[in-house]
């Protein structure tokens, strides 16, 4: 398999008759999916999603793809194709449209409705191009054909991109559930037809490539939820993604069967399910839904709350319930259901919430102890079927961590695809399709762009390092007043330590700090920076040697 070194030069100019692919997110990570295709100077973008921060990125709200590669070429963009409505595929669209508002967005009815609602909050009016399976559309030199796929959100689409330099079939996220709740299966007949025509490069979902066999049916969850509802005595709280229409449908059906009413908790949950219901993707049984404000009027055994927070997000409803920081109280006799799988990297956050809920006395049902969720991604058996049906000339696994991409590439090789034609790339690597052969030819800068409150891209790794130091190592402030002309320390030094159990220990080194400061002042030509550094060195050495800590140290010197 072709796996380039991360030390790559800038890519050469795109030669005539070649098709270029640059993935700006979604490789070596689960999130912020975005691919840029280029031919003859024109660009097509497939998906534009966000990545949710991990614990080592404190204070960050979202992580965006790095638009630096296309910022100077916004007018070259023909369209953005959105494969489905999950945040890791559409969440960054508002930030892209801030750069150019009139980029056409292609997607299914539900996908565009979810995007439009999101853009409305950003005060953006998009140019929408609704498509469905079987449709073909032209976007400049790109000929687009859309194929129905099955995923954990309705209306998902794969896209076949035909160009003069070759064709690419991009699956988006998909699986091959043969008994989907909405009856809409992945169109393998279309995959076979496209395979007969010839697929030059297959960009395929890798999330479950390590999982043997086949992904279970969504219908299997209904009976488990029914059993959990039947055994629950108190209120039930179900946590799921705010866009998982199928799971919400199953919860509504179970609630109706057991005489309970459901309140949707969380702004995104309410917004998305309202859209799904209005468009006919969600069938709400009569009298089941109730406004959150009225849920307390019902006895506990009649209540179901459908909430966000299944990934342990600290500000989501479920985390706040576990911390007793939410109007909904969870306690003994209540049942909490985590109706979603763990996104890699979120394990600690999720288990922290589970432990918090159990400490309050709640019964917690999750994927580890009951079959309350099935994945939305194709497992190894399904991927093998796709490779054998399509027989692509080249394969580029996408959407997954390194281990997922490697496992997916190995599956392709097992079906007979030449290992040299399996491209294992990372974000920013440039892949050119020339004369039917895909190769990594270079790399472009592709970093993390952090959204922190109202700032976008202003938080750097340096700031995050400072935040980690503050949270893990503590903070020390040193203050002194110096008479430079007299060559003496007039006041201080004073030391204040925060976030450190050993704060009192610093009193022992005040004489040493004073001596270091007086030594610098005595030279007669020292500036404020040199005096501050002298204090920093003494305190830093002491903290490292005696306390085994590396706190943030902020020295201040005032001259009189």
Lowest-pLDDT range of 112-116, 176-180, 434-438, 468-472:
468-472
> Is it the case that residue 490 has pLDDT exceeding 70?
yes
What pLDDT is attached to residue 451? 76
> Is it the case that residue 46 has pLDDT exceeding 90?
yes
> Is it the case that residue 81 has pLDDT exceeding 60?
yes
Q: Which two tokens stand for residue 324?
A: 């007793």
Contact 151, 174 (CB under 8 A): yes
The mean pLDDT value for 26-47 works out to 95
Which residue has better confidence, 526 or 8? 8
The mean pLDDT value for 194-212 works out to 97
The mean pLDDT value for 132-155 works out to 96
Q: What is the mean pLDDT of the chain?
A: 88
> Is it the case that residue 291 has pLDDT exceeding 70?
yes
Lowest-pLDDT range of 60-74, 110-124, 129-143, 433-447:
60-74
How far apart CA 88 and CA 48 sit, in angstroms, is: 7
What pLDDT is attached to residue 6? 54
Q: Supply the CATH classification number for the domain 461-559.
A: 3.10.20.580
| Crossing angle between the packed helical segments 380-390 and 188-197, to the nearest 10 degrees | 40
pLDDT tens across 422-474, in order? 999 999 999 999 999 999 999 999 888 877 766 676 677 776 676 666 666 77
How far apart CA 3 and CA 169 sit, in angstroms, is: 21
Lowest-pLDDT range of 9-18, 152-161, 276-285, 360-369:
360-369
What pLDDT is attached to residue 494? 82
Number of H helices, E strands in the chain: 14, 27
Within 13 Å and on the Cβ side, how many CA atoms surround 6? 6
Cβ atoms within 10 Å of 436's Cβ, excluding its own:
13
Which residue has better confidence, 450 or 174? 174
Give the predicted TM-score (pTM) of the model. 0.83
> pLDDT category, 346, cuts 50, 70, 90?
low
Specify which residues 129 forms β-bridges with: 106
How far apart CA 449 and CA 462 sit, in angstroms, is: 13
Contact 343, 310 (CB under 8 A): no
> pLDDT category, 205, cuts 50, 70, 90?
very high
What pLDDT is attached to residue 343? 66
What pLDDT is attached to residue 548? 78
Q: Give the homologous superfamily in CATH for domain 219-365.
A: Metallo-hydrolase/oxidoreductase (3.40.50.10710)
Chain-centroid distance of CA 310 in Å reads: 13
To which residue do tokens 């009193």 refer?
507
Which residue has better confidence, 471 or 148? 148
> pLDDT category, 487, cuts 50, 70, 90?
low
Q: Where do the domains of the chain lie?
A: 19-213+375-447, 219-365, 461-559
> pLDDT category, 369, cuts 50, 70, 90?
confident
> Is it the case that residue 22 has pLDDT exceeding 60?
yes
pLDDT tens across 229-240, in order? 999 989 999 988
> pLDDT category, 144, cuts 50, 70, 90?
very high
How far apart CA 232 and CA 3 sit, in angstroms, is: 51
Q: Of the segments 272-286, 329-343, 352-366, 458-472, which one has the largest average pLDDT value?
A: 272-286
> Is it the case that residue 220 has pLDDT exceeding 70?
yes
What pLDDT is attached to residue 170? 98
User: Is the preceding peptide bond at 490 cis, omega within 30 degrees of 0?
Assistant: no
Which residue stretches of 122-187 are H helix? none
> Is it the case that residue 551 has pLDDT exceeding 90?
no
What pLDDT is attached to residue 250? 92
Cα Rg, the chain, nearest whole Å: 28
Q: Which two tokens stand for residue 459?
A: 């938080």
Give Cα separations from 425 to 81, 143, 339, 379, 473 (angstroms). Answer: 21, 25, 32, 21, 36
Beta sheet of 437-443, edge-to-edge order: 127-130, 104-107, 77-81, 42-46, 34-39, 18-25, 429-434, 437-443
> Is it the case that residue 415 has pLDDT exceeding 70?
yes
What pLDDT is attached to residue 177? 94
Question: From 2.60.40.10, 3.60.15.10, 3.30.420.40, 3.40.50.300, which CATH number describes the 19-213+375-447 domain?
Answer: 3.60.15.10
> pLDDT category, 477, cuts 50, 70, 90?
confident
> Is it the case that residue 4 has pLDDT exceeding 60?
no
> Is it the case that residue 496 has pLDDT exceeding 90?
no
How far apart CA 521 and CA 516 sit, in angstroms, is: 9
Which residue has better confidence, 511 or 57? 511
What pLDDT is attached to residue 58? 61
Q: Where are the beta strands (DSSP E) in 108-151?
A: 127-130, 136-139, 142-149
């Amino acid at each position: 398999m072709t796996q380039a070194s991360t030390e790559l030069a800038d890519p050469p100019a795109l030669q005539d008759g070649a098709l270029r692919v640059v993935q700006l997110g979604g490789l070596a990570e689960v999130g912020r999916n975005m691919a840029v295709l280029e031919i003859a100077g024109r660009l097509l973008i497939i998906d534009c999603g966000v990545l949710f921060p991990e614990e080592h990125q404190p204070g960050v709200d979202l992580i965006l793809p790095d638009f630096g590669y296309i910022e100077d070429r916004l007018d070259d963009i023909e369209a953005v194709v959105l494969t489905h409505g999950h945040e890791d595929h559409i969440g960054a669209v508002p930030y892209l449209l801030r750069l150019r508002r009139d980029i056409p967005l292609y997607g299914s009815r539900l996908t565009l409705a979810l995007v439009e609602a999101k853009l409305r909050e950003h005060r953006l009016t998009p140019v929408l191009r609704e498509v469905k399976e079987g449709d073909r559309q032209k976007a400049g030199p790109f000929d687009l054909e859309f194929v129905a796929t099955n995923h954990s959100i309705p209306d998902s689409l794969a896209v076949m991109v035909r160009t003069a330099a070759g064709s690419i079939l991009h699956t988006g996220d998909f699986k091959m559930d043969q008994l989907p709740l909405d009856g809409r299966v992945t169109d393998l007949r279309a995959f076979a037809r496209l395979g007969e025509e010839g697929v030059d490069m297959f960009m395929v979902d890798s999330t479950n490539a390590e999982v043997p066999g086949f992904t279970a049916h969504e219908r299997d969850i209904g009976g488990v939820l029914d059993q959990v509802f039947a055994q629950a005595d108190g209120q039930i709280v179900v946590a799921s993604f705010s866009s998982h229409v199928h799971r919400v449908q199953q919860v509504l059906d179970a609630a109706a069967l057991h005489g309970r009413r459901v309140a949707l908790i969380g702004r995104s949950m309410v917004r998305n399910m309202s859209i799904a219901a209005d468009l006919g993707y969600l069938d709400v049984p009569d009298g089941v839904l109730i406004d959150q404000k009225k849920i307390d009027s019902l006895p506990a055994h009649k209540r179901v709350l459908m909430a966000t927070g299944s990934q342990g997000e600290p500000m989501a409803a479920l985390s706040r319930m576990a911390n007793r920081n939410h109007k909904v109280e969870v306690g003994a006799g209540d049942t909490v259901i985590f109706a979603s799988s763990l996104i890699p990297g979120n394990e600690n956050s999720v288990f922290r919430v589970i432990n918090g809920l159990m400490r309050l006395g709640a019964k917690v049902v999750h994927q580890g102890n009951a079959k309350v969720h099935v994945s939305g991604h194709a497992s190894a058996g399904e991927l093998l079927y796709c490779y054998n049906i399509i027989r692509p000339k080249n394969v580029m696994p996408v959407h997954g961590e390194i281990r997922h991409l490697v496992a997916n590439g190995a599956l392709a090789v097992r079906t007979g695809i030449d290992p040299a034609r399996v491209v294992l790339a990372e974000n920013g690597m440039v892949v050119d399709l020339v004369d039917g052969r895909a190769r990594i030819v270079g790399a472009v800068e592709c970093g993390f762009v952090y959204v922190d409150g109202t700032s976008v891209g202003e938080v750097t790794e340096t700031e995050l390092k400072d935040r980690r130091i503050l949270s893990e190592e503590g903070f020390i402030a040193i203050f002194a007043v110096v008479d430079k002309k007299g060559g003496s320390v007039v006041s201080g030094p004073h030391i204040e330590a925060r976030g450190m159990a050993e704060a009192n220990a610093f009193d022992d080194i005040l004489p040493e700090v004073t001596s270091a400061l007086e030594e610098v002042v005595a030279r007669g030509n020292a500036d404020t920076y040199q005096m501050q550094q002298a204090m920093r060195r003494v305190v830093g050495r002491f903290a490292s040697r005696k306390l085994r800590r590396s706190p943030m140290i902020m020295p201040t010197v005032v001259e009189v």
